[in-house]
Structure 1
């Protein structure tokens, strides 16, 4: 456990990508199996441990010290895992478990036994290993390592990352077969037919569109759902998210309709009477393990296909887009599946006019794809671009602040903001969203200083602040929401600008935000 804890600590304080890759490669080359495989799974988000909830960890700590003192300590530190790792009673003699022992024991423990098992493991570790152990149990590494970065750390001249990506989803943690191959052994003999294919992603085009030749590109609508991959073979059927999570159980209506053999890249939507329903309707189905008949009837799922990656066992990813599109059109529409249309255009101004109307049609914007582009994993430069509609904007008032995680754990970096409502007893603020991005490190220090100088109440780790600061919020969309007190929910809110100059009385009203729906 100690080598893994040291790795996490070094990764957390190494900001650059190349520096993180050096640390990962050093760890994977010097750590034996299966520890390095479990570490790889934890960093890449593929370690399916039965998570211990924060409330259970808090209860474990409150059994060992005064609850009020613990609450004050947590409020000061700002991070539950870090607080517990520092306050947990020090062992008389450390005998830290291996990462394999930790994973094996937690997987084997029942839900009722898990707190006692975790407590026993914590009592064998020193502070940094305790922090790593808690992060492992809560599923929050937060050290700036993505699945793609972890795969790149494994790659070398003899083992290209493209091959590693193709094998990745057919091999389970702790990836013994994969590491044996990387160490010079035989290539894993696995069936890739049902495996997830790493998706091709796009770069924002922003102001660079004028530098591109429109004759080299095709345009498609960017539909407001979630990107999925539907794989059907004689051996089974799977529906994956863009990160490779299997969501087949949440969409049995889609899986049942996949009576073909191939792999489709498309957008998962809810559709009624051939019209795309709001994204909020799709959200109601995401994450459900069991789907009732009423949900299936009221929220019928549908895939709008962008690309055909495989057909009847033939891998099409190395063909140019024009040939893959022709094959997709031959494949045609099926029950619960149709094709995303190609948008004819000749000039960028002509296409921009269409993009500007995207919001009226509840579309996210446009996708631009090179006609000769192969289907490559990740974000290859110059191949695909996303030209999203302009965001909505509103001036809102900061109401609450909370400390962040990782290198932001010492700063109040997560901000809840509100809009004005006219009530019987006068004007008041109601929360309408939360943002923790869009500002520089220097602005973060200014915002943190404002919170510390203006906080009025404490609600656990949350601080209420005086309603004095206006934040200009950019967001992709706003919709009705019964889950929020305000009745609205913003999609992807971020701070565009800090309005030190604007009086809070001039901030947006809830009525004005509702008018944007």
Structure 2
């Protein structure tokens, strides 16, 4: 466990990607099975411990330290795991230092009653860094600056494999991945899961940047609408003589049980990449409507009838047993059109292409989807996808092949009301902000943001928070926000929806700070009426982050 903790500590402070990759590769090469497999699982989000909750950790530290001292320390540090790791009473020699495997297997099998004692024993046995890593592991908060893709790339670097080889073999594998490591090191065959309807790693897009648009010509690129739903992969197969359908999220989670109407309606053998939406009669509804079907363990007949699920297809990854990912996009598209036509299902249709002859026509379509042919579905469009005609379907986010071009965000001026410390490298700064707009003579919260600003702006806001705190609620500070004094921020956001969770009755989707308005008094910030006027024009909700075509 201490070796894994040392790795995490170094990764957190190493800025360079190549240096991180070397650290990970060296760790995987020097660490035996199954420890290295559980480390890989931790870094790719494949471990969960349902009986280890933050509330339990608070109870354990409360039994060992003064509650007021802990509250003050937590407020200063801003991170629960780091605070407990620093304050946990040292007991040298209390227990032997556990291996990562011992930790993971004990936590996996421990019942609720045994969990407090188990966690306390491990914290007693570990050093400060080990305690921090252990707590991050069990709370699922491993923000170490190393992505799952980078960790898989490090496995590939153990031998002659490419990162995409690992990505393609990954779906369906389970910790501690001993077969995967053996294959990467040239000591075994490619691991197979035996899944008749496997997930294929998704291909993602880069945001369109300045200078990209002039080269978007119809001889090289095609365009299609970017729909405001969630990216899914529908995989059909025959298992034991019976048809089956699995519906995967973009991360590979099988969400089919939440959509029995799709499972019953779609019968095919192949793999479709598309967008999960709600379609009523002939109209695609916005994301706010789709959310009624998301993240539910049980689905009623009434819900299925009121919010019928639908897939709008973007790509065909497999047809029967034939893998199509190595074909150019235009060939896959032609196969997809024929495939969807043969199915003739009311629950599945094609995402229409957007015709254009010049970059200027693309810009016009992005600005006005209704006029560009999106018809009554225009409210569910959040931009354009641009794809090279010759692009293969490659896992990850390859450069130069797919681009996403979202519609211009909405912008308002709001007033900073509350601030909370960040995590990881931001744990010393107040970097999570709640802001509001005027409703009568009162400011009401409408959203939270924790990105969009530069490092210099972060330091400026942090200084303002510390110098203008009027109240404290644990790690959260309330800052002055009157009509005369306060900080006005320009907020950009993708959409708006009604929300019972906010006093204002509205909430934003994907808000970020676009600009600091030191020049503007809080009294001149926007009013709630300005936002409510947008509700009928903004197809989104902030309650859940959604991925769309190419996201």
Q: Above 0.5 in TM-score? A: yes
1:453-472 equivalences under 5 Å are: 453-467=467-481, 468-472=486-490
**Closer, same or farther in 2 for the Cα pair 1:228/1:474, shift >3 Å?**
same
Contact 2:317 2:323 in 1 (8 A): yes
Q: Provide the secondary structure at the position in 2 that maps to 1:364.
A: strand
1:63-212 equivalences under 5 Å are: 63-93=63-93, 95-156=96-157, 158-190=160-192, 191=194, 193-207=196-210, 208-212=212-216
Establish whether residue 402 from structure 1 lines up as the match of residue 420 from structure 2. Answer: yes
For 1:473 and 1:405, how far apart are their aligned partners in 2? Answer: 22
Contact 2:196 2:238 in 1 (8 A): no
Using the TM superposition, give the Cα deviation of residue 120 of structure 1 relative to its aligned residue in structure 2, in angstroms: 1.8
For 1:185 and 1:294, how far apart are their aligned partners in 2? Answer: 54
Greater alpha carbon shift after TM alignment, 284-293 vs 463-472: 284-293
1:217-366 equivalences under 5 Å are: 217-235=221-239, 236-332=244-340, 333-358=344-369, 361-366=379-384
Structure 1 runs of 4+ aligned residues shifted over 3 Å read none
CA displacement, residues 331-378 of structure 1 (integer Å, 9 cap, x when unaligned): 114242111011222122122212102496231101011111111111
Contact 1:51 1:139 in 2 (8 A): no
Partner residue in 1 for 2:448 = 434
Partner residue in 1 for 2:543 = none
Establish whether residue 4 from structure 1 lines up as the match of residue 29 from structure 2. Answer: no
Number of residue pairs aligned between Structure 1 and Structure 2: 513
TM-score, normalising length from structure 1?
0.96
For 2:101 and 2:245, how far apart are their aligned partners in 1? Answer: 32
Greater alpha carbon shift after TM alignment, 253-262 vs 443-452: 253-262
Structure showing greater relative contact order (alpha-carbon pairs closer than 8 Å, 6 or more residues apart): 2
CA displacement, residues 18-41 of structure 1 (integer Å, 9 cap, x when unaligned): 121111111111111111101101
CA displacement, residues 200-257 of structure 1 (integer Å, 9 cap, x when unaligned): 1111113321133232111110000011111111134321111222222222222232
Establish whether residue 59 from structure 1 lines up as the match of residue 59 from structure 2. Answer: yes
For 2:219 and 2:355, how far apart are their aligned partners in 1? Answer: 11
CA displacement, residues 297-339 of structure 1 (integer Å, 9 cap, x when unaligned): 2222111100000011100001111111111111114242111
Q: Provide the secondary structure at the position in 2 that maps to 1:472.
A: strand
CA displacement, residues 447-493 of structure 1 (integer Å, 9 cap, x when unaligned): 11000000110111110001110111111111112232211111110
Contact 2:286 2:379 in 1 (8 A): no
CA displacement, residues 419-471 of structure 1 (integer Å, 9 cap, x when unaligned): 0001xxxx010000001101111111111100000011011111000111011
Contact 2:217 2:357 in 1 (8 A): no
CA RMSD of aligned residues (A): 1.5
Using the TM superposition, give the Cα deviation of residue 92 of structure 1 relative to its aligned residue in structure 2, in angstroms: 2.4
**Closer, same or farther in 2 for the Cα pair 1:51/1:18, shift >3 Å?**
farther
For 1:65 and 1:266, how far apart are their aligned partners in 2? Answer: 52
Contact 1:320 1:373 in 2 (8 A): yes
TM-score, normalising length from structure 2?
0.90
Contact 1:91 1:126 in 2 (8 A): no
Using the TM superposition, give the Cα deviation of residue 193 of structure 1 relative to its aligned residue in structure 2, in angstroms: 4.4
1:418-497 equivalences under 5 Å are: 418-422=436-440, 427-467=441-481, 468-497=486-515
Q: Provide the secondary structure at the position in 1 that maps to 2:529.
A: helix
For 1:115 and 1:474, how far apart are their aligned partners in 2? Answer: 44
Structure 2 gaps, min length 5? 371-377, 536-551
Using the TM superposition, give the Cα deviation of residue 192 of structure 1 relative to its aligned residue in structure 2, in angstroms: 5.7
For 1:288 and 1:136, how far apart are their aligned partners in 2? Answer: 26
Q: Provide the secondary structure at the position in 2 that maps to 1:291.
A: coil
Q: Provide the secondary structure at the position in 2 that maps to 1:342.
A: coil
Partner residue in 1 for 2:538 = none
Establish whether residue 30 from structure 1 lines up as the match of residue 48 from structure 2. Answer: no
Contact 1:417 1:431 in 2 (8 A): yes
Contact 1:21 1:153 in 2 (8 A): yes
**Closer, same or farther in 2 for the Cα pair 1:431/1:25, shift >3 Å?**
same
Greater alpha carbon shift after TM alignment, 210-219 vs 434-443: 210-219
Q: Provide the secondary structure at the position in 2 that maps to 1:154.
A: helix
Contact 2:180 2:191 in 1 (8 A): no
Structure 1 gaps, min length 5? none
Q: Provide the secondary structure at the position in 1 that maps to 2:219.
A: helix
Using the TM superposition, give the Cα deviation of residue 289 of structure 1 relative to its aligned residue in structure 2, in angstroms: 2.0
Using the TM superposition, give the Cα deviation of residue 51 of structure 1 relative to its aligned residue in structure 2, in angstroms: 5.5
CA displacement, residues 135-160 of structure 1 (integer Å, 9 cap, x when unaligned): 11110100112221111111236212
Using the TM superposition, give the Cα deviation of residue 98 of structure 1 relative to its aligned residue in structure 2, in angstroms: 0.6
